[in-house]
Chain A
């Protein structure tokens, strides 16, 4: 997990910046600081859903599951919101027609735990911007779609424990000299794409006014714009950009991660028992090597499997 470690120092800086900025916008950096630098966690701002007891990565203590889990068991299928075009994380394999990836592996583990056997997930393919609404409207049980845990999102939904730490990076053409997003700002007149409804786009617009932020409906929409020369760069989580590089030999990911994106599985806010059940499954996967095997299979390009993110529990519901 070289990426995360090297970002740690930066994470602390950003976390202290978050004090001033408030919860929204830059909260993603907090978890890394919180996990590895206990000092930083004390200094975090007290928001309605993020306070001393509740970080953005703090989830509910694992449990056996209750009414929500039983309802899924009775229904006979786990309904999940996923991406079908984010290679490596969740994408439809055109050769087999199956949706597969790291996110999907996590969901399959949950499904297997609920039903006691491997049975097909009931997929709902959604865009980044739809992630919150499908949970708020109870249209799906779980959302695993490169979903960054943050305080703002905790206001309307709940997250499982962190199951992957990604970092925001920049993808440019192979012959580009730019090594960072600041370098692109210095070049001037650069168009950078990020998907709508993501923390990535927010950060791009707020922190890097020197580049023109171009939104697209999905990450892959950004790759199309990039290949058509309509944008000069794409910014996104290293997990997603790795999938782009796999599809386009003329693209490369440059620089160090300039944010930490803790991924959690999204659950409806009122289904705490489901969150607890999912957390139990994730802990199991992290412990028994399933997690590492999945990481090696999909994200091997980012380096050997690091230690899984440490689950943080003890969330206390605000009254």
Chain B
């Protein structure tokens, strides 16, 4: 068997023909490894793989982070969109119930506000269903509920206009439909999307840690060089050296770029994103409370449960607005409105229902409706601003993550070529 040891195996054609069996090949490989050129080749393969791995890891990480960033952006927009629709609906309901207090002839501006809110909600639902297929089913249910809701409101109006008290029952039913068939679906979607956003933010932050795998590859390159230096008594192998330097530089650059994107996303999550979600929820709660306020008057004396709900809603809204990320100007505006609500309650509790209603439906400056409008406008614009900030933070970083990914891939492949050439030179010395 000794004659088969001499490398390269392929040139020993007759032996291969005579002994095609596996043991021959295995002995050949084992033999090759026991000699320096064979070992050099193995070292070459290891260093090529290590260098290429740095590139592939960087590429994967960059693309994954970019994907996570754009997911976070898309999910945030979906979340904000759903909350917008929810807000539109509670605005519509608050307006419809408030207008009901007025009587048969509802003020044109309230009618317009209701129409606008419903149109905006319907538009929003269609767009949301298009932008994320996973949400389409629940959005479909919500859309169906909205159709029923608007139908009932119109029926309430028609009856009201004729002076029929059955209108009140239709309005009751409309509100009930909104609260059982529409809002719960949207709340579920808000939860799902908020979980999705959290998951995306988590991966934006965690993906750069993949780069630590590159440390193993770099270590392999170093080990090969140390071994080579001992074996060949040359301190440096130029190809391997430059390959290591390139891979190291690319890894450091990658870590910096991806890490800063992660940090920026983290800032957005703890800043404008948090503000967006909090203000949106607070806005929704306040509008819900506004409907409750109208119902305490419509129910006339039997509205205690609605008042309790009002207090719960506004307390929760206040807590949300007290968060450090939220524009501090909003909280006092909410407090102003709650204070004006107390005036209505004080009148009603004192038995002056007619005056309480007159105050509740007044469109005069300084009246509860006006104070609420001030809060509502401020909350909406704060909401838009923080949503835009979140979007900017997330959409801006994705591009650089992709770029650094491709850069690392190119550098990794270049380093692989350099390592191979570095080793090849040593192998040639044994020819």
- Residues of A in contact with B (beta carbons under 8 Å apart): 77, 81, 84-87, 91-97, 99, 120, 122-127, 130, 218, 220-221, 223-224, 227, 244, 246-248
Cβ-neighbour of A247 out of B104, B159, B351, B353 (below 8 A): B159
Q: Are A247 and B166 in contact (CB under 8 A)?
A: yes
Given contacts A84-B300, A125-B299, contact A218 B169 (CB under 8 A): yes
Q: Taking the nearest CB of chain B, how far is it from the CB of A246, in angstroms?
A: 8
Q: Tell whether B420 is near chain A: CB-to-CB under 8 Å.
A: no
A224 with B173, Cβ < 8 A, contacts A95-B103, A96-B103, A124-B302 known: yes
Q: Interface centre among B166, B168, B173, B351, by most A CB within 10 Å?
A: B166
> Which residues of B304-363 are within 8 A (CB) of A?
351, 353-354, 357
CB contacts (< 8 Å) of A92 on chain B: these are 165, 168, 300
* Residues of the A chain whose Cβ atoms lie less than 8 Å from the Cβ of B163: 93-95
Instruction: Give Cα A63 to B302, complex, Å.
Output: 31
A91 and B301 contact, Cβ closer than 8 Å, known pairs A123-B353, A247-B159: no
B160: interface (CB < 8 Å): yes
Q: Which residues of A contact B105 (CB under 8 A)?
A: 95
14 residue pairs A–B, Cβ–Cβ below 8 Å? A84-B165, A84-B168, A84-B300, A85-B169, A91-B165, A92-B165, A92-B168, A94-B164, A125-B299, A218-B169, A220-B168, A244-B166, A247-B162, A247-B165
Question: What are the 4 closest A-B residue pairs judged by CB atoms, nearest first?
Answer: A124-B301, A91-B165, A125-B300, A220-B169
Main secondary structure of the interface of A (DSSP, over half): mixed
Q: Can you name the residue of chain A whose Cβ is closest to the Cβ of B361?
A: A97
Contacts of B104 in A (CB 8 A): 94-95
Is A87 in contact with B164, judged by CB distance below 8 angstroms?
yes
- Chain B residues with CB under 8 Å of chain A are 101, 103-105, 159-170, 172-173, 299-302, 351, 353-354, 357
Is B165 touching A220 in the complex (CB atoms < 8 A)? yes
A291 to B5 CA separation, bound complex (whole angstroms): 127
CB–CB B164/A125 < 8 A: no
A219 to chain B, nearest CB (A): 9
CA distance A95 to B166 in the complex (A): 13
Q: Given A224-B173, A247-B159, is A97 in contact with B166 using a C-beta cutoff of 8 Å?
A: no
With contacts A94-B103, A97-B354 taken as known, whether A125 is within 8 angstroms of B302 at the C-beta atoms is yes
Chain B residues, Cβ within 8 Å of A99:
300
A221 touches B169 (CB 8 A): yes
Choose one: B165, B173, B357; the contact of A86 (CB below 8 Å). Answer: B165
Rounded to whole Å, the gap between the CB of B361 and the closest CB of chain A is: 10
In the complex, the answer to whether A223 meets B302 with C-beta atoms within 8 Å is no
CA distance A120 to B34 in the complex (A): 111
Contacting residues, chain B, for A223 (C-beta < 8 A): 166, 169
User: In the complex, how many angstroms separate the beta carbon of B116 from the nearest chain A beta carbon?
Assistant: 24
Nearest A residue (CB) for B303: A125
Q: A92-B168, A247-B166 are in contact. List 9 more A-B contacts (CB 8 A).
A: A84-B300, A92-B300, A94-B103, A97-B357, A122-B351, A125-B301, A221-B169, A221-B173, A223-B166
